[in-house]
Amino acid sequence: MKTLKLYSLLILLISIGVSCQSDKPAEEKEKKDSIDSVFQPVDDALFRGSNIGDNPGQVRNDEKSIIVTDTDSLLHYQNTYTFESGVSDVEVYYTFDEFGLFEIQVDFYPKNAETPGKLMPKIESYLTTRFGNSKALGTAKRWTTNSSSNNLVEITLSDESDDAEVPFVSLNFLEPLPDEI
């Protein structure tokens, strides 16, 4: 008899719990990432806590994504984000030379063809807020800033979907050599 009362009480509690759950669709319950989730702003760091000139150890300490490649000259990370516009895989490449980090390449691979058109304005807005107005560079947008060593850093953003034949947005931070400017 005591066991029957316990089972009845358990069924009653489960019924109350189920009836109190939200009626929101599953997609509304799912947490959406913002562009800040990708950039992970930290103080005045260029990207995800890292700056041009950092050594690989400094970047490894700041980066929280899944590492794919780890060498002295290249760190490659990947992550998946769920934006309002859809799901996107994001590949981040940090490239080093004897002076430290000189390039950060961020590749967005959205899961559907409409996402690049919705993602680009959000990235543009973020970059414009941080670095001022962009300049057109063909089909790409270009911003400039200075590194901590006062060298020029070029930031370019472009929708490369047509050339890649898959949804693809490219973001690049590069400290060009003086003869590349």
pLDDT tens, position by position, 56-103: 999 999 998 999 999 999 999 999 999 998 999 999 999 999 999 999
Tokens 């358990």, located at residue: 10
Mean pLDDT, residues 125-151:
92
pLDDT computed for residue 147 by the predictor: 86
**Domain ranges (residues) in the chain:** 30-180
Pseudo-torsion of CA 59, 64, 69, 70, nearest 10°? 40
Among the residue ranges 21-30, 70-79, 116-125, 140-149, the one predicted with the least confidence is 21-30
CA atoms within 13 A on the CB side of 106: 21
- From 87, 99, 93, 88, select the one nearest 70 (Cα to Cα): 93
- Mean pLDDT of all residues belonging to the chain: 85
Give the separation between CA 37 and CA 108, rounded to whole angstroms. 13
Which class is 30-180 in CATH? alpha beta
Alpha-carbon distance of 145 to 51, in angstroms, equals: 12
Q: Quick one: average pLDDT of 159-170?
A: 94
Render the burial of 127-148: b for 16+ CB within 10 Å, e for the rest: beeeeeebeeeeebbbbeeebe
Q: Which of 19-23, 33-37, 100-104, 171-175 has the lowest mean pLDDT?
A: 19-23
Q: State the pLDDT at residue 53.
A: 94
Q: Is 49 left (phi over 0), alpha (psi -120 to 50) or beta?
A: left
Q: What is the mean pLDDT of residues 137-144?
A: 92
| pLDDT above 50: residue 27 | no
pLDDT at 122: 95
Burial 15-38 (b: 16+ CB within 10 A, else e): eeeeeeeeeeeeeeeeeebebeeb
Confidence of residue 150 (pLDDT cuts 50, 70, 90): confident
Is 8 a residue whose pLDDT tops 70?
A: no
Least confident of 4-18, 59-73, 136-150: 4-18
Both structure tokens of 154 = 């070029």
